[in-house]
Amino acid sequence: MITIHVCIGSACHLKGAYNVIHGLQKIVEQYHLHEQVTIKADFCLGECTKAVSVKVNDGPIISVNEKNIEEFFEEAVLRRL
């Protein structure tokens, strides 16, 4: 099971955290990965300058936005499956 943590704290919220969450949900649905991938909202990942801050399992914090969400998913999630 892969868990994607998406920060929804103030800085990330302003930079589009909910758009990132919705985008990730669409991709998970597209690939039929409901059983393998969970998306969780976290209030702070401690990397406000990287907003929207996202991490996969206990990996490093990655800056994700609507433009690089598919690339992020392919590199950080699909490669682990």
Question: Token pair 């969400």 is at which residue?
Answer: 69
**Rounded distance, CA 22 to CA 14, Å?**
15
Is the pTM higher than 0.75? The answer reads yes
Cα–Cα distances in Å, from 1 out to 33, 51, 58, 75?
A: 10, 25, 12, 16
DSSP code string of 61-73: -EE--TTTHHHHH
Q: pLDDT 10s digit of each residue in the chain, 81 long? A: 999 999 999 999 999 999 999 999 999 999 999 999 999 999 999 999 999 999 999 999 999 999 999 999 999 999 999
Looking at the chain, the number of H-run helices and the number of E-run strands are 3, 4
